[in-house]
Amino acid sequence: MSDLDLDPTQLDRYSRHIIMDDVGPGGQQDLLDADVLVLGAGGLGAPIIQYLAAAGVGTLGIADDDEVELSNLQRQVIHGTDDVGRKKVASAAEFVAQLNPDIAVEKHDLRVRPDNIEALIDGYDFVVDGTDNFQTRYLVNDACTLAGVPFSHGSIFKFEGQITTFAGTEDSPCYRCMFPQAPPEGMVPNCATAGVLGVLPGTVGCIQATETVKAIIGTGDLLDGEMVFYDALNMEFDTVEITKKDDCPVCGEAPAIDSIHDVEYTASCAIDATHESDPEISVE
């Protein structure tokens, strides 16, 4: 347990955590001592950032290179009309400062790429993936899995959401165990072309934030080895098992990928994860 160092204002701010047996002052201190990286300050990133900041996660890294657009405001609730045209990392940092001055925000005004992700995740206890394309999801998976950094994955489409957590233990599966190959380019539309229910990322992002908090304070069961499918239209939740694959190219018994630099992450989606001896596995 961390040394307790909560001042009177913090004891008041976090009182509803502190009185919980499964959190308590020690758990709150663990949250204040935690360093969490949120990838994306958009639909998923907005509720993740909002609730992690409110919960008292002491250091929040926020990585995004986009600017706020008017069409974002239907779902990206940490940004407002006056933020249109501003960098999302700047708008998000200002939101956090107004919500909870305890939180240190590390702004990463960048697009996550193979040449920066290793340095980006270094030093963070947990990564929350709120990105919106297969290329980056595979990159995040590979970098975090190889580095042993636990991370939460979330995705949204129209009325549907998916959430899981990859705990990074010896027995944990990874994203490639679940989806060894992405769908062909153009098969899955993005939110700009297919649309998304405005409140959907709020639900999915809140579940990701919940998983993050549980991982930090070490309580409850994580979605490690399970994926939750959320159907907002019919208000249904289903959970399916994710099995660790012996032949997974990243976390399997004889992995083909030893480094993200063995992989060519290009602009589209098709993943060739079938190579057993050739380390050049491409995202085409």
Active site residues: 191
Pairing of strands 126-129, 104-108: unpaired
Rounded Cα distance, 63 and 38, in Å: 6
Packing angle, helices 200-217 and 24-33, rounded to 10 = 110
Rounded Cα distance, 43 and 81, in Å: 15
Q: What are phi and psi of 100, to 5 degrees?
A: -150, 105
**Neighbouring residues of 98: CB distance < 8 A, sequence distance ≥ 6:** none
Q: Do residues 51 and 203 lie in contact, with contact meaning Cβ atoms separated by under 8 Å?
A: no
**Neighbouring residues of 208: CB distance < 8 A, sequence distance ≥ 6:** 44, 48, 128, 130, 152, 153, 154, 163
